[in-house]
Copies of this chain bind each other. A is one copy, B any other.
């Protein structure tokens, strides 16, 4: 009997050409690696559906994917079974059986991303692939003010890459905050969905704000203007970006949630900048 399974997946994007399998190429993708492990485990061919198509170099702590299977293996057994077959840079952290109306991408109500910035004079050798280094001192207060401007329903055309195929550039941002601790700054944003390169353009704009080159008010102007792609930015590199979690709860609950839940990595050491 066919069942639908939902997987939660963590990956290090450094060695991948993004999440999505690219048919007819040799490119290493997270989807390709997952589908190969599923075939090794069960002997059957699978096509998995991911919630978000992260770009090359972008990491995920809580990517979600679904697939249908006739295997009788209980859901709770899948993570360890798959992790024994997957390469070290992909790990399945959870699996559960879901209703067959569940769709990893279409049922998603909110996606949360975090962009990590290392703000100290010298770059880091250890976190090079997992953060973006800014040597100049950043003004956290104006960055937090700028991040706050993103909250709400806006046309994010100025924060989208040219050539995006999205029909509408209007998105709803549930929360948008700056967190800081030690030399680390994290820009966290949760929204109904994101346009191509949107988080990296938002983060790039906030760095300009933090450097004093852009006024936070400029973000409001950009959101109101709708006069073209990539007016915000620059686009920061993918290595600082983490897909943190996908939420499938009711939208009303998201709007009631006053604050981001704790972030497991660099966890409580980063505190929200008011």
Contact in complex: A125, B80 (CB < 8 Å): no
Task: Mark contacts of A79-113 with chain B using CB atoms, 8 A cut-off: 1 yes-contact digit, 0 otherwise.
Answer: 11001000011111110000000000000000000
Asked if A12 CB lies within 8 Å of chain B CBs, one says yes
Query: Which A150-201 residues have a C-beta within 8 angstroms of B?
Result: 181-183
Asked if A115 CB lies within 8 Å of chain B CBs, one says no
Contacts of A266 in B (CB 8 A): 266, 269
Per the bound structure, the CA–CA distance linking A122 and B83 in Å amounts to 8
Report how many copies the assembly holds: 2
Contact in complex: A122, B61 (CB < 8 Å): no
Contacts A79-B121, A80-B121; is A126 near B10 (CB within 8 Å)? yes
Per the bound structure, the CA–CA distance linking A46 and B125 in Å amounts to 22
Asked if A21 CB lies within 8 Å of chain B CBs, one says no
Asked if A123 CB lies within 8 Å of chain B CBs, one says yes
Asked if A267 CB lies within 8 Å of chain B CBs, one says yes
* A11 contact from B80, B121, B125, Cβ within 8 A: B125
Contact in complex: B269, A124 (CB < 8 Å): no
* A91 contact from B124, B264, B265, Cβ within 8 A: B124
- Which of A91, A125, A266, A269 is the most central at the interface, judged by chain B CB atoms within 10 Å of its CB? A125
Contact in complex: A91, B123 (CB < 8 Å): yes
Contact in complex: A128, B88 (CB < 8 Å): yes
Asked if A130 CB lies within 8 Å of chain B CBs, one says yes
Contacts of A124 in B (CB 8 A): 10, 91
Asked if A136 CB lies within 8 Å of chain B CBs, one says no
Asked if A245 CB lies within 8 Å of chain B CBs, one says no
Per the bound structure, the CA–CA distance linking A268 and B181 in Å amounts to 9
Contact in complex: A267, B91 (CB < 8 Å): no
* A122 contact from B59, B92, B129, B130, Cβ within 8 A: B92
Closest to A262 in B: B182
Closest to A129 in B: B88
Measured between C-beta atoms, what is the minimum distance from A65 to chain B in Å?
Answer: 14
Measured between C-beta atoms, what is the minimum distance from A235 to chain B in Å?
Answer: 20
Closest 3 CB pairs of A and B: A91-B125, A269-B269, A267-B269
19 of the cross-chain contacts (CB-CB < 8 Å) are: A61-B126, A80-B121, A80-B122, A88-B123, A88-B128, A88-B129, A89-B125, A90-B125, A91-B122, A91-B124, A94-B122, A126-B130, A126-B265, A127-B265, A181-B268, A182-B268, A266-B266, A266-B269, A267-B269
Q: Report A's interface with B, CB cutoff 8 A.
A: 10-12, 59, 61, 79-80, 83, 88-94, 121-130, 181-183, 264-269
